[in-house]
Amino acid sequence: MGRIISRREFVGMGLVGGAGLFLGACASQTGARAGSSQPGPTAVTPVKVTFGVVTDNLNHWPVYIAEEQGLFTRFGVEFDRVLTRASASSVQLLSSGSVPVATSTADAVIAGAARGGGGVVIVAGFNRAYYVLVARPQVRSYADLKGKVIGVSALRAGETPLLRALLRARGLSEGDYQMVVAGGTPERVTAIQAGSIDATMLTPPLDLPLVQKGFTRLGASTEVLPDFAFLTLGTNRPWAQANSEALVRVLAALTEATDWLLNPSNRDRAVQILAKRLNVSPDEARQTYEGTVAVDPPLFYRNMAVTETSLQKVLEFMVEDGTIQASEADPRRYLDTSYLDEALRRRGVKR
């Protein structure tokens, strides 16, 4: 559902411009249903925004809704979706300005900014982390992971801090197992089925088909880290300052999509969208909805407002593993909510 960014684009993709944008024209009717015929934003000249997506998984549900329900179009955004394949790649693209807006895990953005990528900042949050540790059928317990190979997307960022915390809580030290970079979610699913790795962390519903085939569900990250900021929306600071209207429109569409997802009356359509975009069965998508949306609190942040407590937990882990210094562990250094505040104001929503 999205093109993969090429090497040439990675290096030389131009920034999308915001010249001539009609400021203030994106205020929507409060409570208008996503994709309905009710009045939406005032007609505006669309602005093209290249939007990087790490991979296709549960965490991007609001993005899928905004696409499928026509919200980007309603808010005057010509949505150009590219796959970055990894959070670290998203941060590189953001830092260089090759992609102006992209999804990435919170820790990847923080690590990039701490290493001198001051041009990258988090502007909103999608959700708290929720990963399931799945192992091959012969691995029946945590103890069976000793000497085994666990596939991850990155050795330090992404789901890896969650994995380490879960294994540590279950009595395993880092010397008990081997971690190897096995790619994004689709690649790790392929690798565990092929037997090249013994276990990996997956987001629902991608764990469900494996469990049905006899693979072992060992546990979930929420057992040890129930409030850990995960997928965020990052931007290139100079681009955002020069194209604030474009960024506000993107955030208006995504926050409306998130509100729509969290509205129980949209359950059936939300399940249909997830099943379509992740190529899973309606039952698997429905189970995922019940476990991530129809819970209190839901996995997804209301108004895409990442909580300071969940972001602080990420920073604590990064200090602990030496990625950043204690003096760098201030959430305000990596977070700018001014664009989100404006998007919500235009929609008539209070944080």
Q: How far apart are CA 148 and CA 150, in angstroms?
A: 7
Question: What pLDDT score does 231 carry?
Answer: 96
Euclidean distance between CA atoms 186 and 202, whole angstroms: 9
Is the predicted pLDDT of residue 96 greater than 80, yes or no?
yes
Q: How confident is the model at residue 2 (pLDDT cuts 50, 70, 90)?
A: low
pLDDT digits (tens, 9 = 90+) for 236-259: 999 999 999 999 999 999 999 999
- pLDDT for res 11: 40
* From 36-40, 102-106, 253-257, 338-342, the region with the lowest mean pLDDT: 36-40
As a whole number, the mean pLDDT across the chain is 88
- With a cut of 60, say whether residue 296 has pLDDT above it: yes
Task: Give the pLDDT score at 37.
Answer: 37
Question: Could you give all domains of the chain from N- to C-terminal order, each with its CATH number?
Answer: 3-128+228-346 (3.40.190.10), 132-223 (3.40.190.10)
Pick 321 or 342 by higher pLDDT.
342
State pLDDT tens for residues 11-24.
444 333 332 333 34
- d(Cα 337, Cα 330) in Å, to the nearest integer? 15
Residue 28's pLDDT band, with cuts at 50, 70 and 90, is: very low
Higher per-residue confidence, 255 vs 44: 255
pLDDT band at 31 (very low <50, low <70, confident <90, very high): very low
